[in-house]
Structure 1
Protein backbone atom coordinates (compact mmCIF):
# COMPACT_ATOMS: atom_id res chain seq x y z
CA UNK A 1 0.00 0.00 0.00
CA UNK A 2 1.72 3.20 -1.10
CA UNK A 3 -0.40 5.51 1.10
CA UNK A 4 -0.93 5.43 4.85
CA UNK A 5 -2.05 7.76 7.64
CA UNK A 6 -2.25 8.17 11.35
CA UNK A 7 -4.50 10.47 13.30
CA UNK A 8 -3.44 12.75 16.14
CA UNK A 9 -6.80 13.23 17.86
CA UNK A 10 -5.39 15.57 20.48
CA UNK A 11 -4.06 18.08 17.93
CA UNK A 12 -6.86 17.42 15.45
CA UNK A 13 -4.66 16.52 12.50
CA UNK A 14 -4.30 13.67 10.04
CA UNK A 15 -0.76 12.84 8.95
CA UNK A 16 -0.73 11.10 5.57
CA UNK A 17 2.16 9.84 3.49
CA UNK A 18 2.51 8.22 0.06
CA UNK A 19 5.54 6.49 -1.45
CA UNK A 20 6.50 4.88 -4.75
CA UNK A 21 3.88 4.74 -7.48
CA UNK A 22 0.64 6.34 -6.38
CA UNK A 23 -2.57 6.00 -8.38
CA UNK A 24 -6.15 7.19 -8.24
CA UNK A 25 -7.11 3.81 -6.75
CA UNK A 26 -4.51 4.23 -3.99
CA UNK A 27 -5.81 7.68 -3.03
CA UNK A 28 -9.44 6.54 -3.15
CA UNK A 29 -8.57 3.63 -0.85
CA UNK A 30 -6.72 6.02 1.45
CA UNK A 31 -9.76 8.31 1.61
CA UNK A 32 -12.13 5.40 2.28
CA UNK A 33 -9.94 4.01 5.09
CA UNK A 34 -9.57 7.47 6.62
CA UNK A 35 -13.30 8.24 6.47
CA UNK A 36 -14.05 4.89 8.13
CA UNK A 37 -11.52 5.32 10.94
CA UNK A 38 -13.21 5.83 14.32
CA UNK A 39 -10.86 8.72 15.27
CA UNK A 40 -11.37 10.68 12.05
CA UNK A 41 -13.35 13.91 12.16
CA UNK A 42 -13.99 15.93 8.98
CA UNK A 43 -12.96 19.20 10.66
CA UNK A 44 -9.39 17.94 11.21
CA UNK A 45 -6.42 19.42 9.39
CA UNK A 46 -4.13 17.29 7.21
CA UNK A 47 -0.47 17.09 6.34
CA UNK A 48 0.01 14.85 3.28
CA UNK A 49 3.63 14.05 2.42
CA UNK A 50 4.09 13.11 -1.24
CA UNK A 51 7.88 13.68 -1.31
CA UNK A 52 8.69 9.98 -1.78
CA UNK A 53 6.23 9.43 -4.60
CA UNK A 54 8.28 8.43 -7.63
CA UNK A 55 5.39 8.07 -10.07
CA UNK A 56 2.05 9.84 -9.82
CA UNK A 57 -0.14 7.65 -12.02
CA UNK A 58 -2.94 10.21 -12.42
CA UNK A 59 -4.61 11.66 -15.48
CA UNK A 60 -6.12 15.14 -15.44
CA UNK A 61 -9.54 13.48 -15.22
CA UNK A 62 -8.37 11.40 -12.22
CA UNK A 63 -7.39 14.59 -10.38
CA UNK A 64 -10.75 16.16 -11.18
CA UNK A 65 -12.61 13.07 -9.93
CA UNK A 66 -10.54 12.88 -6.73
CA UNK A 67 -11.34 16.53 -6.03
CA UNK A 68 -15.08 15.74 -6.10
CA UNK A 69 -14.73 13.17 -3.28
CA UNK A 70 -13.68 15.36 -0.43
CA UNK A 71 -14.00 13.99 3.10
CA UNK A 72 -12.73 17.08 4.94
CA UNK A 73 -14.70 20.20 5.84
CA UNK A 74 -14.21 23.34 3.80
CA UNK A 75 -12.45 25.13 6.67
CA UNK A 76 -9.86 22.38 7.27
CA UNK A 77 -6.25 23.30 6.55
CA UNK A 78 -4.67 20.72 4.25
CA UNK A 79 -0.99 20.94 3.35
CA UNK A 80 0.29 18.75 0.50
CA UNK A 81 4.10 18.52 0.30
CA UNK A 82 5.66 17.50 -3.01
CA UNK A 83 9.17 17.27 -4.41
CA UNK A 84 8.81 17.56 -8.19
CA UNK A 85 7.40 20.10 -10.62
CA UNK A 86 5.02 17.48 -12.04
CA UNK A 87 3.61 16.67 -8.62
CA UNK A 88 3.36 20.37 -7.79
CA UNK A 89 1.27 20.86 -10.93
CA UNK A 90 -1.03 17.96 -10.07
CA UNK A 91 -1.42 19.32 -6.55
CA UNK A 92 -2.29 22.78 -7.86
CA UNK A 93 -4.92 21.24 -10.16
CA UNK A 94 -6.43 19.45 -7.14
CA UNK A 95 -6.30 22.66 -5.10
CA UNK A 96 -8.03 24.61 -7.88
CA UNK A 97 -10.81 22.04 -8.30
CA UNK A 98 -11.44 22.08 -4.53
CA UNK A 99 -11.50 25.90 -4.54
CA UNK A 100 -14.22 25.76 -7.21
CA UNK A 101 -16.20 23.65 -4.71
CA UNK A 102 -15.74 26.27 -1.98
CA UNK A 103 -12.79 24.75 -0.13
CA UNK A 104 -10.00 27.29 0.33
CA UNK A 105 -7.79 25.56 2.91
CA UNK A 106 -5.55 23.49 0.60
CA UNK A 107 -2.01 24.66 -0.07
CA UNK A 108 0.74 22.87 -2.00
CA UNK A 109 4.27 23.12 -0.62
CA UNK A 110 7.70 22.17 -1.93
CA UNK A 111 9.33 22.36 1.51
CA UNK A 112 8.17 20.46 4.58
CA UNK A 113 9.27 23.27 6.91
CA UNK A 114 6.91 25.69 5.14
CA UNK A 115 4.00 23.26 5.44
CA UNK A 116 4.75 22.66 9.13
CA UNK A 117 4.83 26.39 9.82
CA UNK A 118 1.54 26.93 7.95
CA UNK A 119 -0.10 24.22 10.08
CA UNK A 120 1.57 25.53 13.28
CA UNK A 121 3.47 22.27 13.79
CA UNK A 122 6.97 22.11 15.22
CA UNK A 123 8.20 18.93 13.48
CA UNK A 124 7.17 16.36 10.92
CA UNK A 125 5.86 13.05 12.24
CA UNK A 126 8.05 10.06 12.98
CA UNK A 127 8.02 7.80 9.91
CA UNK A 128 7.59 4.75 12.15
CA UNK A 129 4.01 5.87 12.74
CA UNK A 130 3.15 4.99 9.12
CA UNK A 131 2.78 1.27 9.75
CA UNK A 132 1.68 0.22 6.25
CA UNK A 133 4.72 1.96 4.71
CA UNK A 134 7.30 0.35 6.98
CA UNK A 135 9.61 -2.18 5.35
CA UNK A 136 8.74 -5.75 6.22
CA UNK A 137 10.53 -7.13 9.26
CA UNK A 138 12.58 -10.14 8.26
CA UNK A 139 13.45 -12.73 10.85
CA UNK A 140 17.17 -13.58 10.53
CA UNK A 141 16.50 -17.25 11.35
CA UNK A 142 13.99 -17.47 8.50
CA UNK A 143 16.56 -16.02 6.11
CA UNK A 144 19.21 -18.50 7.25
CA UNK A 145 16.77 -21.40 6.87
CA UNK A 146 15.89 -20.27 3.33
CA UNK A 147 19.57 -20.33 2.34
Structure 2
Protein backbone atom coordinates (compact mmCIF):
# COMPACT_ATOMS: atom_id res chain seq x y z
CA UNK A 1 0.00 0.00 0.00
CA UNK A 2 1.49 3.37 -0.95
CA UNK A 3 0.27 5.01 2.29
CA UNK A 4 2.23 4.07 5.38
CA UNK A 5 1.75 5.53 8.81
CA UNK A 6 3.39 5.55 12.21
CA UNK A 7 2.16 6.62 15.63
CA UNK A 8 4.27 8.90 17.82
CA UNK A 9 2.77 8.69 21.31
CA UNK A 10 5.22 11.23 22.72
CA UNK A 11 3.94 13.91 20.32
CA UNK A 12 0.34 12.61 20.12
CA UNK A 13 0.73 12.40 16.35
CA UNK A 14 0.01 10.05 13.49
CA UNK A 15 2.46 10.55 10.63
CA UNK A 16 1.23 9.24 7.27
CA UNK A 17 3.35 9.20 4.11
CA UNK A 18 2.08 8.52 0.62
CA UNK A 19 4.21 7.51 -2.33
CA UNK A 20 3.72 6.43 -5.91
CA UNK A 21 0.12 6.26 -7.09
CA UNK A 22 -2.55 6.53 -4.40
CA UNK A 23 -6.20 5.59 -5.00
CA UNK A 24 -9.44 6.57 -3.31
CA UNK A 25 -9.74 3.03 -1.97
CA UNK A 26 -6.29 3.25 -0.34
CA UNK A 27 -7.12 6.59 1.27
CA UNK A 28 -10.39 5.20 2.67
CA UNK A 29 -8.68 2.00 3.88
CA UNK A 30 -6.09 4.11 5.71
CA UNK A 31 -8.85 6.31 7.20
CA UNK A 32 -10.67 3.20 8.45
CA UNK A 33 -7.54 1.77 10.03
CA UNK A 34 -6.54 5.02 11.74
CA UNK A 35 -10.11 5.75 12.88
CA UNK A 36 -10.80 2.26 14.25
CA UNK A 37 -12.09 2.40 17.84
CA UNK A 38 -9.20 0.26 19.10
CA UNK A 39 -6.45 2.20 17.27
CA UNK A 40 -4.39 3.89 19.99
CA UNK A 41 -3.66 7.03 17.96
CA UNK A 42 -7.12 7.67 16.54
CA UNK A 43 -7.58 11.00 18.34
CA UNK A 44 -4.01 12.15 17.75
CA UNK A 45 -3.36 15.00 15.35
CA UNK A 46 -2.22 13.91 11.89
CA UNK A 47 0.43 14.95 9.43
CA UNK A 48 -0.18 13.52 5.96
CA UNK A 49 2.81 13.89 3.64
CA UNK A 50 1.84 13.43 -0.02
CA UNK A 51 4.91 15.16 -1.47
CA UNK A 52 6.14 11.87 -2.97
CA UNK A 53 2.79 10.90 -4.46
CA UNK A 54 3.25 10.78 -8.23
CA UNK A 55 -0.34 9.94 -9.11
CA UNK A 56 -3.61 10.45 -7.29
CA UNK A 57 -6.45 8.37 -8.66
CA UNK A 58 -9.27 10.33 -7.07
CA UNK A 59 -12.09 11.78 -9.13
CA UNK A 60 -13.93 14.96 -8.23
CA UNK A 61 -16.91 12.82 -7.21
CA UNK A 62 -14.76 10.59 -5.01
CA UNK A 63 -13.64 13.57 -2.92
CA UNK A 64 -17.16 13.53 -1.42
CA UNK A 65 -16.72 9.86 -0.46
CA UNK A 66 -13.41 10.62 1.26
CA UNK A 67 -15.00 13.59 3.07
CA UNK A 68 -17.93 11.42 4.16
CA UNK A 69 -15.59 8.80 5.64
CA UNK A 70 -13.72 11.53 7.47
CA UNK A 71 -16.91 13.07 8.88
CA UNK A 72 -18.23 9.67 9.99
CA UNK A 73 -15.51 9.42 12.65
CA UNK A 74 -14.50 11.21 15.78
CA UNK A 75 -11.52 13.26 14.64
CA UNK A 76 -8.48 14.88 16.17
CA UNK A 77 -8.24 18.64 16.47
CA UNK A 78 -5.90 19.00 13.49
CA UNK A 79 -5.11 17.18 10.26
CA UNK A 80 -2.39 18.71 8.06
CA UNK A 81 -1.96 17.54 4.48
CA UNK A 82 1.25 18.51 2.66
CA UNK A 83 1.60 18.22 -1.10
CA UNK A 84 3.61 19.98 -3.77
CA UNK A 85 1.48 19.01 -6.79
CA UNK A 86 -1.22 21.43 -7.91
CA UNK A 87 -3.72 18.68 -8.74
CA UNK A 88 -3.25 16.96 -5.38
CA UNK A 89 -3.53 20.30 -3.57
CA UNK A 90 -6.79 21.04 -5.38
CA UNK A 91 -8.27 17.61 -4.68
CA UNK A 92 -7.32 17.88 -0.99
CA UNK A 93 -9.03 21.28 -0.84
CA UNK A 94 -12.13 19.73 -2.41
CA UNK A 95 -12.18 17.10 0.36
CA UNK A 96 -11.72 19.82 2.99
CA UNK A 97 -14.53 21.86 1.46
CA UNK A 98 -16.94 18.93 1.68
CA UNK A 99 -16.29 18.01 5.30
CA UNK A 100 -18.52 19.25 8.10
CA UNK A 101 -15.71 19.31 10.64
CA UNK A 102 -13.15 22.07 10.17
CA UNK A 103 -10.03 20.21 11.28
CA UNK A 104 -8.05 19.96 8.03
CA UNK A 105 -5.56 22.36 6.49
CA UNK A 106 -3.71 21.87 3.21
CA UNK A 107 -0.09 23.02 2.89
CA UNK A 108 2.61 23.17 0.25
CA UNK A 109 5.34 23.71 2.85
CA UNK A 110 6.19 21.04 5.44
CA UNK A 111 7.57 23.50 7.98
CA UNK A 112 4.34 25.55 7.93
CA UNK A 113 2.32 22.37 8.45
CA UNK A 114 4.53 21.31 11.34
CA UNK A 115 4.24 24.75 12.92
CA UNK A 116 0.42 24.69 12.62
CA UNK A 117 0.43 21.29 14.34
CA UNK A 118 2.72 22.57 17.10
CA UNK A 119 5.60 20.31 16.07
CA UNK A 120 9.24 21.36 16.22
CA UNK A 121 10.99 22.11 12.92
CA UNK A 122 13.03 19.36 11.28
> What's the TM-score once normalised by structure 2's chain length?
0.89
1:118 counterpart residue number: 116
C-alpha distance in structure 2 between counterparts of 1:51 and 1:72, whole Å: 26
- Structure whose CA Rg is larger: 1
Matches within 5 A, 1:1-147: 1-36=1-36, 38-42=39-43, 44-70=44-70, 71-73=73-75, 76-98=77-99, 101=100, 103-123=101-121
Give unmatched runs, 5+ long, in structure 1: 125-147
CA-CA distance at 1:33 after TM superposition: 2.1
Structure 2 residue matching 1:62: 3-state secondary structure: helix
What is the total number of aligned residue pairs between the two structures?
119
Report if the CA contact (8 A) 2:2-2:19 is conserved: yes
Deviating 4+ runs (over 4 angstroms): none
Cα RMSD (Å) of the superposition? 1.5
The structure with the greater share of residues assigned to strand is: 2
1:34-68 alpha-carbon deviations (Å, 9 max, x no partner):
233631233x2110000000000000111110100
Distance 1:53 1:72, change over 3 A: farther
C-alpha distance in structure 2 between counterparts of 1:23 and 1:39, whole Å: 25
